[in-house]
Amino acid sequence: MKFEDIPTPAVHRLSFYLRQLEALKSTDRRTISSKQLGESLGYTDAQVRKDLAYFGQFGHPGIGYRVDELISQLRKILGTDKIWSVVLVGAGNLGRALMAYRGFLRKGFQLVAVFDADNSKVGQSFGDLNVLPMSDLQKTVLAQRVRLAVLAVPVESAQAVADQLVAAGVRGILNFAPISVAVPSGTAVQSVDLAVQLEQLSYQMNLDATEPVSPPPADAASAG
Amino acid sequence: MKFEDIPTPAVHRLSFYLRQLEALKSTDRRTISSKQLGESLGYTDAQVRKDLAYFGQFGHPGIGYRVDELISQLRKILGTDKIWSVVLVGAGNLGRALMAYRGFLRKGFQLVAVFDADNSKVGQSFGDLNVLPMSDLQKTVLAQRVRLAVLAVPVESAQAVADQLVAAGVRGILNFAPISVAVPSGTAVQSVDLAVQLEQLSYQMNLDATEPVSPPPADAASAG
The pLDDT of B58-66, averaged and rounded, is: 93
Question: For residue range A82-136, what is the model confidence (pLDDT) as tens digits?
Answer: 888 999 999 987 788 777 765 566 667 889 999 999 999 999 999 889 999 999 9
Distance between CA atoms of A79 and B158, rounded to whole angstroms? Answer: 28
**Chain A residue with minimal CA distance to B93?**
A97
Interface touch B223/A76, C-beta < 8 Å: yes
Contacts of B108 (CB under 8 A, 6+ apart): A198, A199, A202, B75, B79, B80, B81, B82, B83, B84
**Is the predicted pLDDT of residue A30 greater than 80, yes or no?**
yes
Question: For residue range A199-221, what is the model confidence (pLDDT) as tens digits?
Answer: 888 888 776 544 444 433 333 33
- Helix segments in chain A, DSSP class H: 8-25, 34-39, 45-53, 67-78, 93-100, 137-143, 155-168, 194-207
Contacts of A98 (CB under 8 A, 6+ apart): A88, A104, A150, A152, A176, B94, B97, B194
**Is pLDDT larger for residue B19 or for residue B116?**
B116
Whole-complex ipTM: 0.75
Domain B84-195 sits in CATH at 3.40.50.720
3-state SS, residue B68: helix
Select the residue from A16, A101, A106 to test the B interface by mutation, using most B Cβ atoms within 10 A.
A101
Interface touch A108/B202, C-beta < 8 Å: yes
Distance between CA atoms of B198 and A188, rounded to whole angstroms? Answer: 11
In 3D space, the residue among A61, A68, A15, A78 whose CA is nearest the CA of residue B223 turns out to be A78
The domain ranges of chain A are 3-78, 84-193
Phi/psi at B54 (nearest 5 deg)? Answer: -60, -25
Interface touch B196/A154, C-beta < 8 Å: no
Report the predicted TM-score, pTM, of the whole model to 2 decimal places.
0.68
The topology under which CATH files domain A3-78 is Arc Repressor Mutant, subunit A (1.10.10)
Domain A84-193 sits in CATH at 3.40.50.720
Question: For residue range B170-210, what is the model confidence (pLDDT) as tens digits?
Answer: 999 999 887 778 899 889 998 887 777 778 888 887 765 44
Q: What is the pLDDT of residue A4?
A: 66
Of B15, B55, B172, the CB nearest to A204: B172
Interface touch B56/A223, C-beta < 8 Å: yes
Same fold, A3-78 and A84-193: no
Question: For residue range B68-82, what is the model confidence (pLDDT) as tens digits?
Answer: 999 999 999 998 888
Tell me the C-alpha to C-alpha distance, in Å, between residue B110 and each of A56, A124, A214, B4, B146. 47, 33, 12, 26, 10
